[in-house]
Structure 1
Amino acid sequence: MSETKLYVVRHGKTMFNTIGRAQGWSDTPLTAQGEEGIRELGVGLRLAGVPFKAAFSSDSGRTIQTMDIVLRETGYQGISYQRDKRLREWCFGSLDGGYDGELFNGVLPRTEAFKNGRTLQDVSWQEIAESIVEVDTAGWAEPWDVLSKRIFDGFEAIAKSIEASGGGNALVVSHGMTIGTLLWLIDHSCPKQFIENGSVTVVSYKEGRFAIETIADLSYREIGRKDIQNEKKA
């Protein structure tokens, strides 16, 4: 049996990413720049010779669009591809679609978790989730126990299915805060960090346990970008 690894990609840059709005469960398509970034990723993965046996994404349009580009550029259009709503981004409830700065620098700092001058770097993912629930007037935001369970269950189900079929690599397209949450659930000492659009985070899975291999790796995009630029010059 070969090793089981999930290559977890954050979707390409979208319209809301570009203008600094929180997407959550709302959705906007990739921009032209975002599409090109994911094309770079796909070319880079192909040139690096990374093999995939299955593909998974959330059911959001931006991850589906990202997956379509990666599968086309890597030549893996024929592999099994499933969409799973457990891989969605966090739901910001009534704050979905609002400006990031307003949410993270204006609204959340007024909640209980941010008292005594605590910042986003000081609070845990759990405290951020509890703060979003606290300020969500619609009552749609997910409580931490629901949010953390659906994220971990979603990724674990993928890992178990790949392991049960003999191991190998799965390509997974998800979202920035969802990927960050998964990393923290695997290792509580993992610091919060920005997960760049089109980056690759690799986690391995063995005997019921995840291990973090790489976080927010942009090297595949860099490989792809250089190849595309050389092609244009030729």
Structure 2
Amino acid sequence: MTKTRLYIARHGKTMFNTIGRAQGWSDTPLTAEGERGIHELGIGLHKASIPFKYAASSDSGRTMQTMEIILEELGNPTIPYSRDKRIREWCFGSLDGGYDGDLFQGVLPRTAAFNTGRSYDEVTYPELAASLVEVDTANWAEPWEILSKRIYDGFEAIAQSVEASGGGNAIVVSHGMTIGTFMWLIDRKQEKKAIANGSVTVVTYENGKFFIETIGDMSYRLRGREFLEKNEKEN
């Protein structure tokens, strides 16, 4: 059986990403810059000649828009494609759509997890989830037990589907904090790492376990950017 591998991309840059708002379960479309970045990614993946047999994304508009561009550049629009709400971004509850500065520098530092003077990077994902539940007046934010289970179960279901069909590569589009959380669930020693728009995180799935290969790789986008810029100069 061929090894099962997930290439997990973060969606392209959106309107909310650009103006610094917490997106969560709210949604905004990719900007022109964001679309170009994903065209770069798709071209880079195509140039790498990776044989994708399956595609999956969250059910958020920004990930579906990203996947549409990737599949267009891969020249494989008929690849089997599913959408799974389990690999959505974190829900920020009543703070969803608010400015990042208000959330991460204003509200969250007043919660119990931050009382020790630790920074955002030093607070664990379970503690961060507890902080969101603590400040969410709408009671929409997910407790860590629910949040972590739905993220892991979502990616595992995708991997198991690919494995059941003989293994191979899947292109998956998800969200920054969701991808970071998934990496931490695979390896609790992982520190929080920036997952840039259009970056690729690769994991393999064998014997019921995930193994991390790369996190936040920008090389595919850079390769695609070089190709686009060369074409533009020549034309």
TM-score tier, shorter chain, comes to over 0.9
Partner of 2:13: 13
Q: Does 1:83 align with 2:83?
A: yes
Distance 2:89 2:76 in 1: 25
Task: Give the partner amino acid of 2:136.
Answer: D
> After TM superposition, where is structure 1 displaced by more than 6 Å over at least 4 residues in a row?
none
Whole-angstrom CA distance in 2 between matches of 1:51 and 1:129: 37
Query: How many Å apart are 1:145 and its aligned residue?
Result: 0.3
For residues 175 and 37 of structure 2, the distance between their equivalents in structure 1, rounded to whole angstroms, comes to 15
For the residue of structure 2 that corresponds to 1:180, the secondary structure is helix
- Shift of the alpha carbon at 1:121? 1.7
CA shift, 1:116, in A, is 2.1
1:45 aligns with 2:42: no
AA in 2 matched with 1:104: F
Q: Deviations over 1:26-81 (max 9, x none)?
A: 00000000000000000000011011000000000000000000000011101100
For 2:233 and 2:110, locate their aligned partners in 1 and report how far apart those are by CA, in whole Å. Answer: 53
| d(CA) in 1 for partners of 2:191, 2:116 | 21
Question: Paired residue for 1:179?
Answer: 179
Match of 2:149 in 1: 149
1:230 aligns to what?
Answer: 230
Equivalent residues in 2 for 1:57-76, closer than 5 Å:
57-76=57-76
Paired with 1:176 and 1:59, the residues of 2 have a C-alpha distance of 15
SS of residue paired to 1:46: helix
Separation in 2, partners of 1:187, 1:36: 33
- TM-score by length of structure 2 reads 0.99
For 2:186 and 2:146, how far apart are their aligned partners in 1?
17
CA distance in 2, matches of 1:157, 1:121: 29
Distance 2:129 2:37 in 1: 30
Partner SS for 1:211 = strand
- 2:115 paired with 1:115: yes
Q: Report the CA distance between 1:122 and its aligned residue.
A: 1.6
Q: Deviation per CA, 1:63-112, whole angstroms, max 9, x where unpaired?
A: 00000000000111011000110010000000000001110111000000
What is the TM-score normalised by the length of structure 1? 0.99
Aligned residues with identical type, % of pairs: 68
CA distance in 2, matches of 1:202, 1:33: 24
